[in-house]
Structure 1
Amino acid sequence: MFYSQSSSLFDNQCAIEHHWQTGIKGYIHTQIGKVFYFRHIPAQAKYTLVLVNGRIESAYKYRELLWELAQNKIGVVTFDHPGQGYSERLLANRQIGHIQNFKQYSDVLSLIIAEQVTPHTDSWLFLAHSMGGAIVRHYLENTPNTDAQGAFFSAPMFEINTAPYPVWFAKWVAKTACILGKAKSFAIGQQSYQPKSFEDNELTGCDKRYQAFRALYEQHSELQLGGVSFGWLNAALTETSKKRQSISLPIAIASAEHDSIVNSQAHFAYASQQTLCKIESYSGKHELLCEEDTIRRAVLTQCYEFADSVTLKETGS
């Protein structure tokens, strides 16, 4: 397998950008606005990954990974969630991350699959990061007849880290604020986009990838998104507090030991409830797909081996 190295990021930028430009890009129309998508499926692709990214993210942020997947003859379909990235924003204040409920996210994912995945490939699985993990889990629990062959979760948002407040208190505050008509306002402590220094960041230990991410968002300010609304917080805490169902598909989880964004213990609790789930823990921060090379390579190796195991066709004797 080919693995991208952070030390070669600068030298590979032209190739990475060229791959982004040659991918198929466009918009699908949903009940909550236009949603941006990116699709690239090489000829004779091994399989296709449906990359479902996290909050504040964009497909454009994942250019390095998209290029890397193409080098490995792996197809990818990805998109920007409603209200972020290049997709239509849901509030007049573009900086507020908002949603009414996670079914809206899941319904958009269903449309992406129907319009951009199944017409183009018959061998595909999910690669979901952070909030994308909560969305994919919701989708799988409510779509028992999906054509997906498995789901790989990277630091999934199965439970939000609400420290220093307990989850029950955060839920009460969010629900009360929504009742009082504040659903579309910034939640307590939230603000417009503010880039943090690498030393203060909670996302990754890779300086080069972190600086590339921040530079991208400075250059393309339309991608910037700030904190969440009370409505998003209420929806997220409601979704992650539900009693979970068993999923019949094979599942793999990559969990980050130094994650301060989501509660990593929730990954192990969820894995213990599933019959077809394997979990690995890595000494990284939240964004395992943008981590230092040794960690990122190990996570991607886990992903590739999992994908091979669930998509490999039996050829008979």
Structure 2
Amino acid sequence: MLEPAPFHAALANGPEGARAFWLRAEDGLRLRIAHYPGPEAAGGTVLLFPGRTEYVEKYGRVARDFAAEGFHVLTIDWRGQGLADRMLEDVQTGHVHLFADYQKDVAALLDAVDMLGLPRPLHLLAHSMGGAIGLRALSRGLPVAGAGFTAPMWGIRMFGPVRTAAWALSWSGARMGMGHVYAPSTGPGSYLARTAFEGNLLTTDRDSWDYMRRQVTEVPDLALGGPSLRWLHEALAECRSLSRLPAPGVPCLAYLGSNERVVDPARVRARMADWPGGRLEVIRGGEHEVLMENAATRARIVAQLAAHFRQSAEAARAQASA
């Protein structure tokens, strides 16, 4: 059952008529979704899987570009972030009990497609942590014609000794009743709110930086701080598990900034090299948020993804009728 939820349309700057709703995952947690409408004669619906710390308003401009390309967009506040139920007493901590729990959120999002009567075929666009959730969902049969990823979290960028320490600390902390504690070098407060634009890890575009920063400063309830030790352990374990899976049989187009410093570029390159029909595009000079670079770059990526989704849908129809 869907119920109206708060939505900050002015901060999202998306297409007209966007709406947000509350819905429940199968374990009872309350999630928030947003529908950004496209034209009546739409080419389908993009299921947009956000990254860690993100929320539905962040993708308003992206949704506006997809609407111009003929697509609806449906996106979500994952459990523990945005306006969805937070997992800990310290609501600034990014936390999840099991990484597999995100698949309950995916199931709820798919239910909402039918509740809202959104057009098919469905397509996947997943960013960062959403890329790990999306790859797992694809391996479980997510019913999409095509997939797109930006800076997918198929590995977390850490150097050798740091990775070893992260595994040990997150594993032991979770088992000693300290899984709720912030991971080392992190803490409360949004990265956007406490970091200067110069030298940031997300974007080289000042307008996009201000757009994202304004959202978390004007609506502090959207903001999220660092991850918990439990989240870190679950994320590391999920990335390792995903690396052992075969590539899904879904056409894929992925993007990576040439200056990526958050996820592990080597893991992304390795996965895409083994993905039949997959293609990796590198955005020269891009940081982690390639869809939050300048408007021209965003529009170019969206146009390429829209063409990819249309081609994937045509191939799926041809295969079904053969």
1:111 aligned residue: 108
Q: What is the alpha-carbon distance in structure 2 between the residues aligned to residue 14 and residue 108 of structure 1?
A: 26
Matched, 1:76 2:78: no
What amino acid is aligned across from residue 313 of structure 2 in structure 1? T
2:313 aligned residue: 311
In the superposition, relative to structure 1, how do residues 302 and 190 fare at CA in structure 2: closer, same or farther (>3 Å)?
same
What amino acid is aligned across from residue 76 of structure 2 in structure 1? F
**2:85 partner SS:** coil
What amino acid is aligned across from residue 180 of structure 1 in structure 2? M
Matched, 1:128 2:126: yes
> 1:236-255 residue pairs with structure 2 within 5 A?
236-242=235-241, 243-255=244-256
What amino acid is aligned across from residue 157 of structure 2 in structure 1? N
1:7 aligned residue: none
Q: Deviations over 1:145-176 (max 9, x none)?
A: x3211210011001001247443332121101
Count, aligned residues: 300
Corresponding residue to 1:60 among 47, 57, 62: 57
> 1:166-315 residue pairs with structure 2 within 5 A?
166-194=162-190, 195=193, 196-242=195-241, 243-283=244-284, 284-312=286-314
Q: Which moved more, 1:76-85 or 1:157-166?
A: 157-166
In the superposition, relative to structure 1, how do residues 18 and 140 fare at CA in structure 2: closer, same or farther (>3 Å)?
closer
Q: Is the 8 A contact 1:257 1:282 kept in 2?
A: yes
What amino acid is aligned across from residue 71 of structure 1 in structure 2? A
Residue 19 of structure 1 deviates from its aligned partner by: 3.5
Q: Is the 8 A contact 2:259 2:287 kept in 1?
A: yes
Residue 240 of structure 1 deviates from its aligned partner by: 0.3
> 1:143-162 residue pairs with structure 2 within 5 A?
143-144=140-141, 146-162=142-158
Q: Is the 8 A contact 2:15 2:37 kept in 1?
A: no
Q: Is the 8 A contact 2:12 2:57 kept in 1?
A: no
Q: Is the 8 A contact 1:39 1:116 kept in 2?
A: no
Q: What is the alpha-carbon distance in structure 1 between the residues aligned to residue 180 and residue 44 of structure 2?
A: 40
Q: Deviations over 1:60-99 (max 9, x none)?
A: 1111112222233211110111010111111111100001
**1:139 partner SS:** helix
Q: Is the 8 A contact 2:29 2:79 kept in 1?
A: yes
Matched, 1:24 2:5: no
In the superposition, relative to structure 1, how do residues 160 and 206 fare at CA in structure 2: closer, same or farther (>3 Å)?
same
Q: Deviations over 1:28-66 (max 9, x none)?
A: 112151000011343111121000010111111111112
Q: Is the 8 A contact 1:77 1:117 kept in 2?
A: no
Taking structure 1 as the reference length, the TM-score comes to 0.88
Q: What is the alpha-carbon distance in structure 2 between the residues aligned to residue 296 and residue 18 of structure 1?
A: 14
**1:300 partner SS:** helix
In the superposition, relative to structure 1, how do residues 269 and 183 fare at CA in structure 2: closer, same or farther (>3 Å)?
same
Q: Is the 8 A contact 1:50 1:77 kept in 2?
A: yes
1:139 aligned residue: 137
Q: Is the 8 A contact 2:66 2:306 kept in 1?
A: no
State the superposition RMSD in angstroms: 2.1
Q: What is the alpha-carbon distance in structure 1 between the residues aligned to residue 119 and residue 296 of structure 2?
A: 31
Q: Deviations over 1:122-159 (max 9, x none)?
A: 21110100000000011111x23x32112100110010
Taking structure 2 as the reference length, the TM-score comes to 0.87
The percent of aligned pairs where both chains have the same amino acid is: 23
Query: Please, which runs of 5 or more residues in structure 1 have no aligned partner?
Result: 1-12
